[in-house]
Amino acid sequence: MQLQATNPVLMRKQDLLARIYSCLLMSKFGLKTNYVVFGDSNSENLRSAKNQKVFDDALGFGVNLGIGGSTPMDWIEFFYSDEGKQAYSFMSSLDYQILNIGGNCVIQDKMRDAETSLITLKKLFPKSFNCLLPPLRYALLEDNPVDEVKQKVEKINEYISTIWGEQTIDTHLPFIDNYTNNGEPYFWVLDDAVHFSENADNNVRIPIIISKIKSLG
């Protein structure tokens, strides 16, 4: 597989590996890593100390390896690289893998390989959970026809729901403002067109994620 220089996961691989090595080091002193959060920016923005503590209290010690701008194929390319194989060995051994991935297939117009790359990720991490894309503020996505973007979001969420089945975490429907009748989120859900706000994370998204994992754990 040819690796692309523009792959954001490969560009930040040293940071990823440093965090993984820190976990491996701590394991020698009895602190086991139980979970990993990875994927795109809606994983990365869960990395605050406050959010990490909520996850750690519920699931045990974990690590966030989210990379903004990444697609499923970016992660697959990383896992098949020499250094990525080490990361995959560590990540796949953990009790829980929590993904937010697929949004950049919409934003970056990379729909062609979306389904096959999501299938590959699920095969790599059969125990993983994947979160649905949130409803977007479509009007803020300049130069993108609203109906076309909505259809792409629906398609990615359809892929995720089909591929992950009961391990799908619904972070879409709970955030839709039904009073607007346009499929957009409540005003407090997103900080911009696509990223969850801290308010949404603290009060709704993180509890939904943890509740789903606990229900199947």
The pLDDT tens digits of the residues spanning 8-32 come to 999 999 999 999 999 999 999 999 9
**Domains observed in the chain:** 8-216 (3.40.50.1110)
151's tokens: 């259809």
Give CA–CA dist 63/29, Å, rounded: 16
For residue 99, the SS3 value is strand
Quote the percentage of the chain above a pLDDT of 70.
97
The pLDDT tens digits of the residues spanning 43-66 come to 999 999 999 999 999 999 999 999
Q: Roughly what angle, to the nearest 10 degrees, separates helices 49-59 and 206-216?
A: 20
Judged against a pLDDT cut of 90, whether residue 179 lies above it is answered with no
Alpha-carbon dihedral sign for residues 170, 158, 116, 146? negative
Judged against a pLDDT cut of 70, whether residue 5 lies above it is answered with no
